[in-house]
Amino acid sequence: MSQRQRYELKLLANQGEFDVAHVADSFGVTPRTIRYDIDKLNNLLYNLNGSDAIEVRSKTARLKNDAPHLDILSLDSTAGRDIIASPLTARERTLAIISALCWSDDYVSIGDIVEEYGISRATAMRDLDRVRAYCDAHDVDLVRSRGRGLSIHADEPCRRRLIARVIRDCASIAGSRTGFALADYLRWFSRDELESIETIVREAEQKFDIVLDDTSYEAMVVHIALSVKRCKCDIEAFYTAFGPVQDNDVSTEFKMADFIVSRIEDVLGTSLPQAERYYIGVHMGARSGKVASAHSKSDLNLEFKCISAITEVAAEVGVDLTHDARLYHRLLQHISSSAYRNRVGLLLENPLRDELLGSYADHARLVAAALERSGLSQVVQMTSDEIAYVLLHFEAAIVAAEGGEVRHANVVVVCSTGIGTAELLAAELARCFEINIIASIPFHQVGDLCDEAGIDLVISTVPLQIDMPCIEVRPLLRGEDIACISNVLNQLGFKGSAKAISKSSSDPVSTISSARPLSFPVHSSDQAHEPDLGGHELSELLGGGHVFLDAQVSSWEEAVDAAGGPLVATGHISSAYVEAVIESVKRLGPYIVIWKGVALPHARDRTGVRRTSMSCVRLARPVAFGSTDNDPVRYVFMLATVDATSHTKALMSLACLLRRPSFTDLLESARSADQILSYITSFEQENVMRRREVNI
C-alpha cells in the first residue's frame, strides 16, 4: 500500500469520505489515478466486508454504511508505518528520499518513488532533481545507473552527517523550534529509546561534570540514537571508514564514550562496536566546549590569535575588553570547539544567525574583520553561523562592560540556544534591570529543580512548566520583553528594579506561572563576577635581563636560539626547551610568526621549563621564518610557561602593545632594554588607573 493509499484509507476511516479532486490535487495526480486507488483499496477491503466497501458518487469517495470502520482503522495501522497525517510536501518527500538512500546501498528509482508516495512520474522526476541538488549542496556523491535509479556513494561518517542534516531539516520544516522536542524525532526513532538515551547522556554529564548546551545535548542524543539504529543494520563494512580506533585514548571525551556505550548495552541491550565508541567520543569532543578547550591548553598560537581578535574588536568599538577573563575563556573555548568540529567534519548551526547578524550588523562586520586579521579564520572556517556565535560572545562582553552590575532579585536564565546566547541575554538583563543573575542553565536541566537555593524569578527563552515564578522572553530582548519583566519584578515586590532604558515597548500583558518562590541547585553562574585575566604582568616576565637588542643571527633557528639565551642564562629554562621549540617549528611550520615582523617561539612540550618567563630579542637584521604573510622577522618574544594561565595577562598586554605604533617605533629605535621596559611599565600602570576609574 502506497503512502497515498494509506492517506486515503485514513480519511475514509476518520471522516467517512473525501473529495477525489482535492486529494488528486494534493498529490499532483489525476482524479482517474485516485479512482484506481479506490479499486485497489476495495480489493484489499473485500475480505473485511464481502463486497466493495468504498463507492464514488458526485466526485466524492464514501465508505459504505455497512463497512466496518474499526477493522479499517486496524488495517491502516498494520499496512505500513504511516509517518504523516497529510500528503508530504515536495520538501518533505525530498528529505524522505534522501533518508532512504542513506540507510542502505540500494538504488531508488522513479518507479519506487511513484509507488511509495503516490505521486505522478513527472513529480517524482522533479523530486529526484531536488535530491541531486541537496546532495550536491552537502558534498555527497550520487551514483546513477540506467534502469536502477540513484544510489548514494559515501562512507559511514558521511552518511551519518547527511542523515543528521536530514533529521534537523525535517524537524525545522514546521517552523521555529524551542528546546529538545522528542516529537520531532519519532518518525526516526522510538520514544522509549530516545528517552533512555536522554537519561544516559544526562548521567554522563553529571558523572564527568560537563554540561552541554541544549543544541549540543540534542545533537548528542540524536547521534547516539543514530548509532544504535545503524548498528541494527547490516553496515559492518562501513566501520572501516571511521579511521583509526584509539583503544588507549583516556581523554575525557573517550571516557564519556566508554560510559555511554556501557550504559547503552545495559539499558537498551545493544552492544555497540569499538568504532562506535570512537565516533561517540569524537562527537562528544566536538560538542563539549569544556572538552575541546582542554585540547587547546598550551596552544599559545591559538591563544594569541584569540587575544588579537579581542584587542582588535575592543579598539574598534571603543570598549575595553582586554581585561575580560570571561570573554577570553569563552572565545578560546568556542574556537577550540569549532576547530575540533572542522577536523572531524561535524555540523555547526546557529538558530539565531539571521537575527543576530541583522540586529548587530555593524559589530558583525567588525568581528568578521577581526577574525580575519587575527588569523582565526585560518584555524576555523568562518561561516556565517560561526561569525554569529563569536558575535554573541563579544556582544555579551560589550553590554556587560557598558552596563555594570547591581544585584537585587535572584534570577536564573534558561536558554536553549547555547552559551553565547545565554550570556548575551544575561548581559542585557543586567544592563536593563537591577537583578542578581545567579545562574544560566540549559533547558534540558530544568527538571533538576528542587528546594535548596533561593530563586526569585526564572527568565526563559522556552516555555516552562515549573512551580515557581517564570517568564518567557525572546533570546534577543525587545521592548515588550523588557516591559513584561519589569511588570513581573514589580509584582514580586522588587520595585524600581528597571533601570533607565531607551528601548520602546508595546503594552504587553504579563503573567506569573506561580506565586510561590522555590529554589533549586544550579551550576555556578557564568554571569557571576570573574576576576581579570590572571598571571604575570609583561614587565615582570621581561625584567631581570630578558630583553636583548641587536642579536647577530643568520637563520630562524639562530633567532630562536638567541631568544632562548636570556631565559637559559637566568635559569628559567634549559636548552632542552629551546631545542623543543626548534623541532616543533620544523615539524609544524612557522606557526610562531604571529604578527608582521614578530615571532613568538613556544612549544607545547614544557620540558626544561622551570618558571613562566618571556624574553624580547631584537635582531640586528631581519630573517625569514617561512611565513608568507609576516616575514621577515626582526622581533622575537620567546614564551615559556609552566601552566595554562600564568602567562595570559602578559600575552594580552603584548597583543595590545603591538597595535600601538608608538611601541613598534620604540622597538625599532630603542638604544637600551630599559627604554622598552619603562614603556611597558607605564602602559600597565595606565591600564590599572583606567580600570579603577571604570569601577568607580
Q: What is the pLDDT of residues 57-69, one digit of tens each?
A: 888 998 877 665 5
When the candidates are 1.10.10.10, 2.60.40.10, 3.40.50.11780, 3.40.50.300, the CATH number that belongs to 3-78 is 1.10.10.10
How confident is the prediction for the chain on average, in pLDDT?
77
Read off the pLDDT of residues 529-575 as tens digits, 9 standing for 90 and up.
444 566 789 999 999 999 999 999 999 999 999 999 999 999 999 99
For the ranges 244-248, 630-634, 690-694, which has the lowest average pLDDT? 244-248
Share of the chain above pLDDT 90, in %: 17
C-alpha–C-alpha distance, residues 660 and 108, integer Å: 63
Give the chain's count of helices (H) and strands (E): 27, 16
For the ranges 165-174, 197-206, 539-548, 659-668, which has the lowest average pLDDT? 165-174
| Higher pLDDT, residue 54 or 427 | 54
C-alpha–C-alpha distance, residues 149 and 24, integer Å: 26
pLDDT score recorded for residue 177: 46
What residue has cell string 542513506?
Answer: 102
| Local confidence band at 35 (pLDDT 50, 70, 90 cut-offs) | confident
pLDDT of 510 over the 80 cut: no
**Per CATH, which fold does 182-287 belong to?**
PTS-regulatory domain, PRD (1.10.1790)
C-alpha–C-alpha distance, residues 11 and 60, integer Å: 12
Active site residues: 602
- Residue 646, classified by CB atoms within 10 Å of its CB into exposed (0-12), middle (13-18) or buried (19+), is middle
pLDDT score recorded for residue 421: 67
pLDDT of 210 over the 70 cut: yes
pLDDT score recorded for residue 556: 95
> What number of other Cβ atoms are within 10 A of residue 375's Cβ?
21
C-alpha–C-alpha distance, residues 268 and 278, integer Å: 19
C-alpha–C-alpha distance, residues 351 and 595, integer Å: 35
CATH architecture of 538-694: 3-Layer(aba) Sandwich (3.40)
CA triple 122-127-128, angle to 5 deg: 100
Read off the pLDDT of residues 281-338 as tens digits, 9 standing for 90 and up.
766 665 555 555 555 555 778 888 888 899 889 888 888 888 888 888 888 888 887 8
In the chain, CATH 1.10.1790.10 covers 294-400
Cell digits for 533? 585575566
Share of the chain above pLDDT 70, in %: 75
pLDDT score recorded for residue 644: 76
| Higher pLDDT, residue 141 or 513 | 141
Cell digits for 487? 511588570
Most confident range (mean pLDDT) of 249-263, 286-300, 617-631, 637-651 is 617-631
CATH class of the domain whose range is 90-154: mainly alpha
- Please give the DSSP secondary-structure letter assigned to residue 144: E
| Higher pLDDT, residue 467 or 388 | 388
Is domain 294-400 in CATH 1.10.420.10, yes or no? no
Give the residue-averaged pLDDT of 338-358. Answer: 71
| Local confidence band at 447 (pLDDT 50, 70, 90 cut-offs) | low
pLDDT of 160 over the 50 cut: yes
Among the listed residues 36, 40, 49, the one whose alpha carbon sits nearest the alpha carbon of residue 23: 36
In the chain, CATH 1.10.10.10 covers 3-78, 90-154
Give the 3-state secondary structure of residue 373.
Answer: helix
Give the residue-averaged pLDDT of 469-484. Answer: 82
8 A C-beta contact, residue 252 and residue 291: yes
| Higher pLDDT, residue 352 or 662 | 662
CATH number of 404-530: 3.40.50.2300
pLDDT of 166 over the 90 cut: no
